[in-house]
Structure 1
Amino acid sequence: MLKRCLCLSLLFLVVFPAGAWAHFGMVIPSQSMVDQNHRQLTVDFSFSHPFEGVGMVLERPERVTIVKQGQVTDVTSELVSTTIMDKKGWQLEYAVRRPGVYTIGMEPKPYWEPAEDCFIIHYTKTLVAAYGAESGWDAPAGYPMEIVPLTRPFGLYAGNVFQGQVLYKGEPLAHAEVEVEYYNREGDATAPTPYMVTQVVKADANGVFSYAAPKAGWWGFAALHTADYTMEHEGEAKDVELGGVLWTRFSKWQNH
């Protein structure tokens, strides 16, 4: 039996090497809905494999912003270095003082991934609703690559169908591939097969995709596209993978 398990483990590593795991930019606030009892947000910024709980180094982002009703606040200077999944990440403390929908977004520095022979730039965001306000959740953030929610991205139950639209340079990206992954923060979820670590859905001709989250918690949606430019690495031009990443929290159904 032990020999069989070792063989299966080796097969797992050969067929699904660690370098092939999906990368996700991560912006995870302490809550997705703010009320009078929870006014302070702690926001974690990382670059990781969320299901496996394996982190990568995230250098200080190029820019972190909070957008409310079109007003952009740059909070990059307020980031504090921290450790997330045993790797360098960043943290922000932010007091939510007024009602509104807050889009917290990160533009990271390009990340060189030797396993994929390309640079990775994941424009990552999440939305937080405060004090009963909910207008503006479907407004684009203006990133070169992003997912605009078509389902209100807060106040969701596990099992709800979530829809989003993939935009590239502000226009719908037809048939975009979207990777979906659960943030296995407690490490209590297991995948019966490696194929089920990262779910994959494809957008339609209008860039619209749908997904029903089977478990409560934070779920990341990453739309991927190769940029129309290259970046130099050791004297060679390399492709750039652009990601538009959206993190959304689904909650358990509450009974009396």
Structure 2
Amino acid sequence: MSLSLRAGLLTAALFSGAACAHFQELIPQSDTLTPQSGGQVQLSLTFTHPMERGPAMAMGQPVQFGVVGPQGRQDLLERLTSTGVDGQQAYLADYRVTRPGDYLFYLEPAPYWEPGEGKMIIHYTKVVVEGFGALEGWDQPVGLPVEIEPLSRPYSLWRGNLFQGLVRHQGEPVPFAEVEVEWRNDGSVTPPSDGYVTQVIKADANGVFSYAMPRSGWWGFAALLEAEQPMTNPQGEPVPVELGGLIWVHARDMN
């Protein structure tokens, strides 16, 4: 193999690694709580590459973490406990559901500096947990700067169901927004090539996107926009900012 070809392959490999999609995970033990399961739920907060099963990236102290539910909005920052994933900072949180209804957990993480892409990353993330069969409240907005409004109920989904969402920025629909999709790999799937790791779809002129989930498990949908204003990186330089609006939904097999 020639030196120039080796250099080209190395450059391609480095570029491919730098371009891996980042997903902020906010994963509950279950998206549905019943009287039999009880109301206790633990949520895992990890910044990682879900389809590739890592590696995780260090999270700073979150700016916001809370829930919108039947009791209104609750700040849950003080319930976060530190944990480690792949040797990096991550978080856990415990919450007890005491009233029937849908619970919208949301997270604003600390800005993350990604030197490989030369930008800061902020992924506003949410997940909906259904409590005790009330089946209402899932479509209310949390009020995040970038947010996916579910048009399909984001729980009690079968594998193969079509999930639809509306991308909003400051409350307004985003025409033709780019949405990245990844499955939270349990180790049972090896992507045949890089293109299978992150699925990419575009919203339509009204900001609406659709995706049929081909496998059971957790699916992350990330609508990505560039912020109007730059931020300062750790070296004190102004850099662009990737804003993400994420939602996690779970699909089950019909056993």
TM-score, with length taken from structure 2: 0.92
Determine the C-alpha separation between the residues in 2 that align with 1:227 and 1:58: 20
Query: Which residue number corresponds to residue 101 of structure 2?
Result: 100
Query: What amino acid maps onto 1:241 in structure 2?
Result: E
Query: Which residue number corresponds to residue 127 of structure 1?
Result: 128
User: Does structure 2 retain, via aligned residues, the 8 Å contact 1:182–1:219?
Assistant: yes
| Deviation at residue 17 of structure 1 after TM alignment | 2.5
1:201-240 → structure 2 map (5 Å cutoff): 201-233=201-233, 234-240=235-241
Query: What amino acid maps onto 2:29 in structure 1?
Result: S
Determine the C-alpha separation between the residues in 1 that align with 2:19 and 2:157: 30
5+ residue gaps, structure 1: 1-6
Query: Which residue number corresponds to residue 189 of structure 1?
Result: 189
Query: Which residue number corresponds to residue 22 of structure 1?
Result: 21
Determine the C-alpha separation between the residues in 2 that align with 1:30 and 1:175: 33
Query: What amino acid maps onto 1:44 in structure 2?
Result: S
Larger deviation, residues 156-165 vs 134-143: 134-143
**In 2 relative to 1, CA 159–94 (structure 1 residues): closer, same or farther, beyond 3 Å?**
same
Determine the C-alpha separation between the residues in 1 that align with 2:34 and 2:80: 24
Determine the C-alpha separation between the residues in 2 that align with 1:141 and 1:105: 8
1:163-178 → structure 2 map (5 Å cutoff): 163-178=164-179
Determine the C-alpha separation between the residues in 2 that align with 1:12 and 1:197: 20
Cα deviation code 1:153-208 (max 9, x no counterpart): 00000100000000001000000000000001x32211111100000000001110
TM-score, with length taken from structure 1: 0.92
Query: Which residue number corresponds to residue 199 of structure 2?
Result: 199
Cα deviation code 1:56-104 (max 9, x no counterpart): 1112211100111471100101100012344211001111111000000
Query: Which residue number corresponds to residue 117 of structure 2?
Result: 116
User: Does structure 2 retain, via aligned residues, the 8 Å contact 1:67–1:73?
Assistant: yes
User: Does structure 1 retain, via aligned residues, the 8 Å contact 2:70–2:99?
Assistant: no
Determine the C-alpha separation between the residues in 2 that align with 1:12 and 1:129: 46
- Size of the alignment, in residue pairs? 245
Percent identity (aligned): 45
User: Does structure 2 retain, via aligned residues, the 8 Å contact 1:24–1:122?
Assistant: yes
SS at match of 2:240: strand
Determine the C-alpha separation between the residues in 1 that align with 2:12 and 2:117: 16
Larger deviation, residues 58-67 vs 21-30: 58-67
Query: What amino acid maps onto 1:157 in structure 2?
Result: W
| Deviation at residue 14 of structure 1 after TM alignment | 1.9
**In 2 relative to 1, CA 41–211 (structure 1 residues): closer, same or farther, beyond 3 Å?**
same
Ranges of 4+ aligned residues in structure 1 off by more than 4 Å: 10-13
5+ residue gaps, structure 2: 1-5
| Deviation at residue 235 of structure 1 after TM alignment | 3.2
